[in-house]
């Protein structure tokens, strides 16, 4: 990826920034702020991750991130430390980019945010601004303010809207910047850090800003649940979902983005944030039944894909060998958190299938991580297809489209494909002799 040269808009000063947490949000955020000319110290407490960064290796798969980080390191704008306390020394702005995992009741676990706030509280510079970038429940800015307990320090909400796989582009050219705070001057200063993006700016109170983040992800999830349910309807009435969605997408009020039917939505954000918003609504005494329906509809979509595989195997997968292509929750990431692909693969195993899986980001290993323990991991897509009664395409890795399908055909026990991403050309594979089932298409 070629980077445009960065820099601040004329007249805007370079600021000293600390970023706490070098994950999917913190790392692109730190590298982007460095690209904009600010001096950024990124704190990562996990030694393996820190070592990787220091030696120029990226701890996550993210297109263009290596170049952006290398640029920051080369210009001296970006440096790394294992200590949050050290990072905040001299910093005017401190971004909290730590994880907010999900508790069993659907609510967000704020213990990492709280711990980070506690750790840095007494070390913050006088007048520093703490920026909550992690997705946090409504009211969290106040919680962080209380934990820090310093009248001279302001807390500002500045949610991220990064998509994994395109986080660098999304950071450099965001659709919008949202900043929420009671302290208008602090909000304006945080907004100024991103002046170089030229993105529309929404300055509001912290509660509204925190709600915007959840509302965005809940809306996207609801849109996809509608799309997947519509694809199911198309199959029943004999319509082609792709053309139906094309017809919808040209309506500017609907748009083409987020209209692809698939195995269901997943990842580290949409499932977690929809459940968290539902939890927030219930706690506030508001029954958000539309959102509850979108979540239930997503579970139905996973089940629909499993049924398609059963159908492709003649009614049951019990005892069947199945080839699976793709385990990450979407292409161009190595993230398998809440991955519909992985959930479907494991569900098939639970139904008695022997699953041979290939994913470009997963190395076959003698002692695989727990989430992969039930699966046979293959070094290439052909091995995954060998002797399979059906091949299930679960993640939309582009490279799957360009494989030698005559070879795949000759390797399989029974040439049936279930394409849960509508990635392949049905007529081309049918011409070769495959049975083909996609989503919402004949």
Can residue 330 be called a binding residue for ligand UDX (CB under 6 A)? yes
3-state secondary structure 393-441: ECCCCHHHHHCCHHHHHHHCCCCEEEECCCCCCHHHHHHCCCEEECCCC
Is the Cα dihedral 315, 389, 262, 137 positive or negative? Answer: positive
Number of residues engaging ligand UDX in binding (CB under 6 A): 21
Can residue 258 be called a binding residue for ligand UDX (CB under 6 A)? yes
Rounded to 5°, the CA angle 389-392-393 comes to 150
Alpha-carbon distance 167 to 63, whole Å? 8
Can residue 275 be called a binding residue for ligand UDX (CB under 6 A)? no
Classify burial at 358, counting beta carbons within 10 Å of its beta carbon; exposed 0-12, middle 13-18, buried 19 or more.
buried
Q: What DSSP state is assigned to residue 367? A: S
CB of 98 to ligand UDX, least distance (A): 15
Taking CA atoms, 372 is separated from 319, 336, 367, 377, in Å, by 19, 10, 10, 8
Contact partners, residue 352, CB within 8 Å, separation at least 6: 316, 317, 318, 319, 320
Can residue 97 be called a binding residue for ligand UDX (CB under 6 A)? no
Can residue 265 be called a binding residue for ligand UDX (CB under 6 A)? yes
Token pair 């199959």 is at which residue?
Answer: 235
CB of 93 to ligand UDX, least distance (A): 20
269, 324, 417, 437: which one binds ligand UDX (CB under 6 A): 269
CB of 240 to ligand UDX, least distance (A): 17
Can residue 259 be called a binding residue for ligand UDX (CB under 6 A)? yes
Classify burial at 283, counting beta carbons within 10 Å of its beta carbon; exposed 0-12, middle 13-18, buried 19 or more.
exposed
Cβ closest to ligand UDX, residue 44 vs residue 338: 338
CB of 164 to ligand UDX, least distance (A): 4
137, 267, 376, 415: which one binds ligand UDX (CB under 6 A): 267
The answer to whether the beta carbons of residues 112 and 34 sit under 8 Å apart is no
Q: Which of residues 25-64 bind ligand UDX (CB under 6 A)?
A: none
Q: Which of residues 203-242 bind ligand UDX (CB under 6 A)?
A: 217, 220, 224
Can residue 68 be called a binding residue for ligand UDX (CB under 6 A)? no
269 is catalytic: yes
Binding part of the chain for ligand UDX, among 103-111, 116-124, 267-275, 368-376 by CB under 6 A, reads 267-275
- What the block records as the tokens of 301 is 């979509």
Residue 137 backbone class (left: φ over 0; alpha: ψ -120 to 50; beta: rest) = beta
Can residue 400 be called a binding residue for ligand UDX (CB under 6 A)? no
Site string for ligand UDX, 335-374 (x = CB under 6 A): -----x----------------------------------
270, 408, 423, 424: which one binds ligand UDX (CB under 6 A): 270
CB of 143 to ligand UDX, least distance (A): 21
Alpha-carbon distance 11 to 27, whole Å? 26
Binding part of the chain for ligand UDX, among 34-42, 105-113, 147-155, 252-260 by CB under 6 A, reads 252-260
The answer to whether the beta carbons of residues 130 and 18 sit under 8 Å apart is no
3-state secondary structure of 272: helix
3-state secondary structure of 309: helix
Token pair 């290439």 is at which residue?
Answer: 380
CB of 266 to ligand UDX, least distance (A): 4
| Cβ count near 308 (within 10 Å) | 22
Chain Cα centroid distance, residue 362 = 17
Q: Which of 97, 234, 269, 313 is catalytic?
A: 269
260, 279, 304, 308: which one binds ligand UDX (CB under 6 A): 260
Binding part of the chain for ligand UDX, among 68-76, 111-119, 139-147, 161-169 by CB under 6 A, reads 161-169
Can residue 161 be called a binding residue for ligand UDX (CB under 6 A)? yes
- What the block records as the tokens of 411 is 């390797």
Can residue 424 be called a binding residue for ligand UDX (CB under 6 A)? no
Counting Cα atoms < 13 Å in the Cβ hemisphere of 316 gives 5
164, 189, 210, 235: which one binds ligand UDX (CB under 6 A): 164
Binding part of the chain for ligand UDX, among 104-112, 240-248, 257-265, 305-313 by CB under 6 A, reads 257-265
Cβ closest to ligand UDX, residue 259 vs residue 390: 259
Q: In this structure, what are the phi and psi dihedrals at residue 358, rounded to the nearest 5 degrees?
A: -130, 135
CB of 50 to ligand UDX, least distance (A): 24
CB of 270 to ligand UDX, least distance (A): 5
Cβ closest to ligand UDX, residue 39 vs residue 343: 343
Can residue 409 be called a binding residue for ligand UDX (CB under 6 A)? no
3-state secondary structure of 280: helix
Footprint of ligand UDX on this chain (CB under 6 A)?
A: 160-164, 217, 220, 224, 258-260, 262, 265-270, 329-330, 340
Catalytic machinery residues: 269
């Amino acid at each position: 990826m070629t980077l445009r040269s960065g820099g601040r808009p004329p007249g805007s000063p370079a600021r000293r920034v600390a970023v706490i947490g070098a994950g999917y949000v913190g790392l692109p955020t730190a590298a982007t702020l460095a690209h904009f000319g600010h001096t950024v110290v990124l704190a990562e407490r996990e030694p393996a991750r820190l070592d990787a960064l220091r030696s120029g290796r990226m701890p996550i798969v993210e297109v263009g991130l290596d170049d952006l980080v290398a640029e920051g390191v080369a210009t001296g704008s970006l440096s790394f430390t294992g200590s949050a306390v050290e990072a905040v020394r001299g910093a005017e702005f401190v971004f909290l980019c730590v994880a907010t995992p999900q508790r069993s009741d659907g609510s967000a676990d704020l213990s990492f945010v709280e711990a980070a706030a506690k750790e840095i509280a007494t070390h913050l510079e006088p007048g520093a601004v703490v920026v909550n970038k992690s997705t946090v429940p409504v009211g969290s800015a106040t919680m962080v303010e209380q934990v820090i307990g310093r009248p001279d320090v302001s807390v500002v909400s500045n949610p991220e809207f990064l998509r994994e796989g395109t986080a660098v582009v999304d950071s450099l050219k965001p659709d919008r910047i949202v900043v929420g705070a009671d302290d208008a001057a602090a909000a304006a200063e945080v907004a100024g850090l991103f002046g170089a993006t030229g993105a529309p700016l929404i300055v509001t109170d912290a509660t509204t800003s925190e709600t915007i983040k959840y509302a965005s992800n809940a809306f996207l999830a609801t849109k996809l649940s509608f799309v997947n349910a519509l694809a199911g309807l198309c199959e029943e009435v004999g319509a082609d979902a792709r053309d139906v969605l094309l017809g919808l997408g040209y309506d500017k009020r609907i748009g083409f983005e987020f209209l692809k039917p698939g195995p269901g939505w997943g990842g580290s954000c949409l499932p977690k944030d929809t459940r968290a918003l539902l939890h927030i609504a219930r706690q506030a005494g508001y029954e958000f039944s539309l959102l509850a329906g979108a979540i239930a509809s997503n579970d139905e979509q996973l089940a629909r894909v499993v049924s398609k595989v059963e159908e492709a195997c003649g009614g049951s997968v019990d005892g069947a060998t199945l080839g699976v292509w793709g385990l990450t929750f979407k292409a161009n990431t190595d993230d398998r958190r809440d991955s519909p692909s992985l959930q479907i693969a494991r569900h098939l195993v639970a139904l008695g299938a022997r699953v041979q899986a290939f994913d470009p980001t997963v190395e076959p290993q003698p002692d695989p991580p727990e989430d992969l323990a039930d699966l046979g991991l293959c070094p290439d897509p052909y091995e995954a297809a060998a002797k399979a009664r059906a091949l299930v395409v679960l993640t939309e890795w582009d490279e799957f489209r360009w494989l030698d399908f005559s070879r795949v055909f000759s390797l399989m026990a029974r040439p049936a494909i279930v394409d849960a991403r509508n990635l392949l050309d049905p007529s081309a594979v049918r011409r070769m002799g495959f049975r083909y089932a996609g989503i919402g298409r004949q």
